[in-house]
Amino acid sequence: MSINTIVGQAATGENFYERPKLLNDIWRIIESGSNILLVAPRRVGKTSILFYLSDNPKRGFRPLYLITESVNDENEFFRKLYGHIFELLDGIEKFSQRIKNLVGKNKISEISKSGVKLEDVKLDYYGALIKLFKILDLDGEKLIIMIDEFPETVENIKRDKTETDALRFLQKNRELRHSAIIKEKAQFIYVGSIGLENVVSKMNASSTIDDLHSFGVPPFTEKESRDLILDKILKNSEMQIENEQVRFLLSKIEWLIPFYIQLIMDETYKLYSYEELKKINNEVIERAIDKSIQHKLYFDLWLSRLKTTFKGNEFSFVKSVLNHTSEKDTISSAEIYNYAEGFNITEIYKNIINTLVYDGYINNNDNPKIYHFNSPILKRWWYKYVAN
């Protein structure tokens, strides 16, 4: 039997690797009544955590997951939220009278998950949402509203409407969180593959999210990674790997996120199958790593994401910093400043570096003045395909 890997899609059910301490910490914060901002770069497993919480709620809580990546309008966001909460109602007929009360004198042409369709008039879904919460009966449970790609939504509004609209949107959400009616029945978890803190900081709107409890999702530990490989990925597989090779593999990955672990295991299995190998040794793992960085589809987005976020000198600055780091292994804050000077962006370069840190490119965890790539795999890819 082959190996069991999930690449890219959120891990659910048996494929999800439980991290009890992490999950307990999240529940502890939820139980304290706080709203959470889940913070981590892409591919670390944030969505998988949300799915897990959704499938395994604690007593007294009812999780509700929604993704708002495509939303680029405030009313649309609240319509989507409204639609999801609407599903919690017990039967449309029972509550149709109450719905009619919600929409006032306006004529309803349709009610469904997509929302309430009125004739001639656009419904204000923020208002409708508040009213909906008033009539919502959750049998004493509290709703945990998990909004995936919320920062992307903010960026969409900023791009497709105006920055003022985006600011208004953030303020509205803050209002929502603080509304007495909502607070009683719901809490929020916000998640995104881009850093909300960076997004709002650029807009000078940090106050709109200062009520959120920021919770960082760390990469896997070595033990967790080993368990993931041996107990999940290789479960029932004819391919087996010795502990020594697992250690070697993990030492090469360094930044232990499930995505890289699974990607390299996939390539290892491919070599194992194609070449009919009897044993997996370090050389095979090295080759698997080389093969995995050839997957442009998986890695190109690291570059393309930067191209979208940064333009002109900002992009040139980012590319120079990362090229330097991929070649020399590290870059100092002095060297970074030097590049910033060269590209005339000394005013904003720190924000840019924060974005790179949040989005998982580099970190300065060992020494605040020295940065290096989070992932040697990403570094290898960057050096081969971008810097050269």
Partner 1 sequence: MSQTKSHLPFIYNPAELTKSELIENFVIRNYEFEQIFNIIKNDDMKNPPQHIIIQGQRGTGKTTLLLRLSYAIKDDKELNKWLIPVVSDEESWGISTLAEFWKHTAEDLEEINDDSIGVSAEIEQYENDENFGEKSFEILQNNLSSHNKKIILFIDNFGDLVKKFNRKEHQILREVLLTSSNIRIVAASSVVLEFTYEYSEPFYEFFKVFRLQNLKKKEAEKLLLKMGESYKTNEVKEIIKNCPQRVEALRRITNGVPRTIVLLYEIFVDNKTGNAFHDLELTLDRVTPLYKHRMDDLKPIPQKIVNVLALNWDAMPVKEISKQTKISSKQVSAQLQYLEKNGIVTKERTNTKNHIYYLSERFFNIWYLIRRGRKKYKNRVRFLVEFLELWCTPKQLLKTVSELKEAMHNGTVHEKHALYMTEALDYISLERSEQHSLIAGTRKYLEFPQSEQVNELSHFDIEIYNEIIKLLKKGDEKKAVLMVTKIKNKIYEDNFLIGNIYFYGVKNDKKAEEYYKKAIEKGNSGAMNNLAMLLFERKLRKEEALELARKSTIAKKYLANLHTLLMVLLWNDEIEESIKIWKSELFKEEYINRWIKGISEIFNFFIAKKQYNFVYKVFTENKFEIKERYKPIYFALLHFMGGKYETERKKMGPELKETVDEIITAIKQMGKDYS
- Residues engaged in binding partner 1 (CB under 8 A): 1-2, 4-10, 12-13, 42-43, 47, 51, 65, 67, 69-70, 72, 112-115, 148, 152, 156, 193, 266, 270, 273-274, 295-298, 300-301, 304-305, 308-309, 385, 388
Q: Looking at beta carbons only, is 153 or 187 nearer to partner 1?
A: 153
In whole angstroms, the minimum distance from the beta carbon of 299 to partner 1 comes to 10
* Whole-number Å distance between alpha carbons of 230 and 246: 9
Give the position of tokens 């997509």.
Answer: 114
In whole angstroms, the minimum distance from the beta carbon of 295 to partner 1 comes to 6
**Cβ pair 69, 32 in contact under 8 A:** no
**Cβ pair 223, 180 in contact under 8 A:** no
Q: Looking at beta carbons only, is 8 or 60 nearer to partner 1?
A: 8
Alpha-helical (H) ranges within the chain are 20-31, 46-55, 74-86, 92-103, 125-135, 150-160, 163-178, 180-185, 196-202, 222-227, 243-253, 258-274, 282-292, 296-309, 312-328, 333-342, 349-358, 376-382
Partnered with residue 362 across adjacent β-strands are: 373
Question: Between β-strands 213-216 and 36-39, what pairing exists: parallel, antiparallel or unpaired?
Answer: parallel
Q: Looking at beta carbons only, is 11 or 182 nearer to partner 1?
A: 11
Q: Looking at beta carbons only, is 74 or 148 nearer to partner 1?
A: 148
Q: Looking at beta carbons only, is 183 or 202 nearer to partner 1?
A: 202
Q: Looking at beta carbons only, is 43 or 232 nearer to partner 1?
A: 43
Q: Looking at beta carbons only, is 223 or 311 nearer to partner 1?
A: 311
In whole angstroms, the minimum distance from the beta carbon of 132 to partner 1 comes to 19
In whole angstroms, the minimum distance from the beta carbon of 228 to partner 1 comes to 16
In whole angstroms, the minimum distance from the beta carbon of 43 to partner 1 comes to 8
Q: Looking at beta carbons only, is 15 or 179 nearer to partner 1?
A: 15
**Cβ pair 332, 297 in contact under 8 A:** no
CA–CA distance from 358 to each of 119, 192, 216, 362 (Å)?
45, 11, 10, 8
Question: Between β-strands 108-112 and 331-332, what pairing exists: parallel, antiparallel or unpaired?
Answer: unpaired
Question: Between β-strands 61-67 and 142-148, what pairing exists: parallel, antiparallel or unpaired?
Answer: parallel
In whole angstroms, the minimum distance from the beta carbon of 176 to partner 1 comes to 21
- Tell me the residue length of the chain: 388
In whole angstroms, the minimum distance from the beta carbon of 58 to partner 1 comes to 20
In whole angstroms, the minimum distance from the beta carbon of 286 to partner 1 comes to 18
Torsion of the alpha carbons at 35, 56, 149 and 85, rounded to the nearest 10? -80
